[in-house]
Amino acid sequence: MIMNDIRRVPLLVSVSAVALFTTWAGAARAQDAVPDDTVVLPQIVVEDEGSSDTGQGYVANRSSTGSKTDTPIAEIPQSVAVVTRKEMDDQGAQTTAEALRYTAGVFSQPFGPDSDTNWFYLRGFDATQTGVFMDGLQFYGYGFGSFYVDSFNLERIDVLRGAASVLYGGSNPGGIVNYVSKKPTGERLRYTEAGVNDAGTAYLGFDIGDRIDQAFDYRVSGRVEGGDGYFDFQEGYRGSISPSLTWTPNDATTLTVLSNYTYVDEVHGAASFLPYVGTVKAASFGHIDRDANYTEPDMDKYQRQQFSIGYEFEHILDNDWAVRQNARYGYARIDEVNLYPSGYSGGSATPVLANPVFTRWVFEHDTTLNSFLLDNQLEGDVRTGPVSHDLLFGVDYKYFNMKQMQASAQGTDISVTDPVYGAAQPTPAAYIDQNIVQHQVGAYMQDQLRFGDGWLVTLNGRYDHVFTDATGTPAYSGRDGALSGRAGIAYEFENGLTPYASAASFFNPLIGSSANVDFFEPETGEQYEIGLKYEPVWFDGLFTLSLFDLTRRNVVTGAWNAETQIGEVNSRGVEFEARANLTQDLSVTAAVTAYDLEITEDANEAIIGNTPNVVPEQMASLFVNYTLPGGPLEGLTVGGGVRYLGESWADNENTLKVPSATLFDAKLGYERENWGVDFNVINIADTRYVASCKGALTCSYGEGRSFQLRAYANW
């Protein structure tokens, strides 16, 4: 099946190439027709997906995530954040979800410290599967099938808040997270890092690169990790390696090949699927132990094998236009078995026995993913009178194939306070056994106009067509197409202030069906945003203030296999973010998020006007890192942060509330010449809190106190 679908790709590439060449030729003729006295624009420089600026300290000033062109962040008519490598290291982040804890508009780790999935919500909407990109190409996921990215192999993480489908096709309405890979730099790089936490997990990472000759550069990064986790019985091993090679045969042509292999073999932890009574609210026996694990350790397993290979090609033409083609093939096989609680005895939300027990379900899935993505781009500058245009034309293609089997059975009960393991469990029965294939083809264009000594206008248009077929149980198929657009305006003042406004529509194709809906239609909606960006002229910093109104339609609601699609959710709010290197030795990041989330349409009329569950409507954070510049303690680093998570609702009926939590983190480090040591503490006070609930039976403890020691060296 997959080979038949991929055979169509060469035809698509050919058609795309013809379309790009035709567009380029027309644009080139238009440029040739400009009068001789027209000012000649400088040669454009098109950089890696993400940015040419990897960020010094906590501040990155450029990104291609919000425009697909290497653009100053201040000129992008949406809110964009960049988490640099240094910020990740200073905060002791070991996963991408941890790296986003101090980012405005992002609610990460909503279901606690999950070791196999990096969960996050953007502007109130779950972006875990449809909002993940790497180097500008989507890492799409569905059901229990998704790709996992080790944060050690990343140079930075870009966050584009708000509608992004006009650039990337189907994507989460709340925004996207774009992981930017470590790539060859042409310089000698020898780096190694080792770490251990208080649970007993240790790791070793390496990052090596160099120039082979004038045409070839290479880089290889990777990490191996293993040991015990923070939950009872949790243990595992994982490894990841990412080799890359850049070929530069001449000044006009660059080809970078990127690859990765990831392996995971572990026994699950257990932060989720716990009742509201016993976590948020004390039960008759008190609170459920945060470290308790109600699976069967002899049965439990999670295994992942994952591979990807792709390239980024760029060629600058004689007229200073540039053509690019980015591609990636990805494969993953995930095999999982575990037992999870589903309420107290009989599925009750409260204990009904003097010695309370949990009802458990045995769950198993076997999922195989194949994906292929291709993005063809043509970019160049033209001038029409006093207006300069940075034009971008593109055609992209996405192929997603998932073979999945899901099975379940009701397992044996287990004591909540004194669990005993080893009881025989029934064999799960399959309720899903299907093969899903989705194709998406999109054509897009963008015009970034500059005029009048500071005016910036961005215009985008795109059309997508999506084909989805599922065979097996259940079977369904669907076809759909949609237009999406964005218009933005900004003005750059000489003092570094840039006010902006934008409007955008989005399109997010869905997979699935139910007894009520033959095939889920794509989600649609629009976003309106105004904001102010400020780059001070007297120190290195970037401040962003944004106000937005985002409406998401065709939301799937209702119980499993009885869903309807008349849901609508509105997300309005304000986000403030500051990232600054106040001095060479002092860096700060701060964020404030305030939402007004509202269910505006739903099959259940009783919840219309309520706030959706899971997401807190207020969040705030501050992290400061200071290195002593001289004296007997030169090289000593002291850092710390505070994170506030506001109240949220456990249910859409808004009858069960999850309290707010304030968490403190700290860092102590020492660096001398080519080596250093860092000691990080997360949740210093060991505050017991619930990160979120997705119903009265599905609450998740947040991360307790953890210690992380790491040592690193360059040679």
Residue indicated by tokens 């660059």: 254
* Contact call for residues 70 and 49 (beta carbons, < 8 A): no
**pLDDT-wise least confident of 35-39, 361-365, 625-629:** 35-39
Quote the CA–CA distance of 200 and 130 in Å, as a whole number. 33
pLDDT at 474: 94
Quote the CA–CA distance of 81 and 63 in Å, as a whole number. 9
Among 100, 92, 203, smallest CA distance to 666 is for: 92
| pLDDT one-digit tens code per residue, 477-532 | 999 999 999 999 999 999 999 999 999 999 999 999 998 899 999 999 999 999 99
How confident is the model over 654-663, as a mean pLDDT?
A: 98
Q: What CATH number is attached to the domain comprising 440? A: 2.40.170.20
How confident is the model over 585-593, as a mean pLDDT?
A: 97
pLDDT at 560: 81
179 burial (CB, 10 Å; 0-12 / 13-18 / 19+) is: buried
Quote the CA–CA distance of 168 and 397 in Å, as a whole number. 10
The 3-state DSSP class for residue 26 equals helix
Among 353, 511, 493, smallest CA distance to 432 is for: 511
Residues in the chain: 715
Q: What angle do CA 454, 457, 463 make, to 5 degrees?
A: 160
Model confidence band, residue 270 (pLDDT cutoffs 50, 70, 90): confident
> Token digits for 102?
């101090």
How confident is the model over 68-84, as a mean pLDDT?
A: 97
Residue indicated by tokens 């501050």: 622
* Contact call for residues 532 and 498 (beta carbons, < 8 A): yes
Give the pairing type, strands 132-134 and 414-415.
Answer: unpaired
First to last CA, the chain: 49
Q: Is the pLDDT of residue 67 over 90?
A: yes
pLDDT at 45: 38
> Token digits for 651?
């249910």
The 3-state DSSP class for residue 605 equals helix
Q: From the centroid of its chain, how far is CA 517? A: 29
> Token digits for 146?
């998704």
> Token digits for 136?
């500008």
Quote the CA–CA distance of 41 and 388 in Å, as a whole number. 8
Among 668, 667, 678, 666, smallest CA distance to 712 is for: 678
**What percentage of the chain has pLDDT greater than the value 70?**
92
Quote the CA–CA distance of 465 and 379 in Å, as a whole number. 23
Q: Is the pLDDT of residue 334 over 90?
A: yes
| pLDDT one-digit tens code per residue, 124-152 | 999 999 999 999 999 999 999 999 999 99
Amino acid of residue 35: P
Q: From the centroid of its chain, how far is CA 587? A: 24
Quote the CA–CA distance of 156 and 81 in Å, as a whole number. 10
pLDDT at 700: 97
> Token digits for 125?
């909407």
| pLDDT one-digit tens code per residue, 378-434 | 999 999 999 999 999 999 999 999 999 999 999 999 999 999 999 999 999 999 999
Q: Is the pLDDT of residue 464 over 70?
A: yes
Query: Alpha-carbon Rg of the chain, whole angstroms?
Result: 25
Quote the CA–CA distance of 432 and 186 in Å, as a whole number. 49
Mean pLDDT across the chain, nearest whole number?
92
How many CB atoms are located within 10 Å of the residue 83 CB?
29
How confident is the model over 321-348, as a mean pLDDT?
A: 97
Q: Is the pLDDT of residue 365 over 60?
A: yes
How far, in Å, are 81, 86, 159, 189, 580 from residue 55 at the CA level?
Answer: 11, 9, 14, 18, 11
pLDDT at 55: 54
**pLDDT-wise least confident of 15-29, 102-116, 219-233:** 15-29
Give the pairing type, strands 357-384 and 387-410.
Answer: antiparallel
Largest CA distance in the chain: 91
pLDDT at 320: 86
Count of alpha carbons within 13 Å of 687, Cβ hemisphere only?
19
**Total domain count for the chain?**
1
More confident residue, 572 or 15: 572
pLDDT at 291: 94
Model confidence band, residue 53 (pLDDT cutoffs 50, 70, 90): low
The 3-state DSSP class for residue 512 equals coil
Q: Is the pLDDT of residue 7 over 90?
A: no
Range of the domain at 32: 2-714
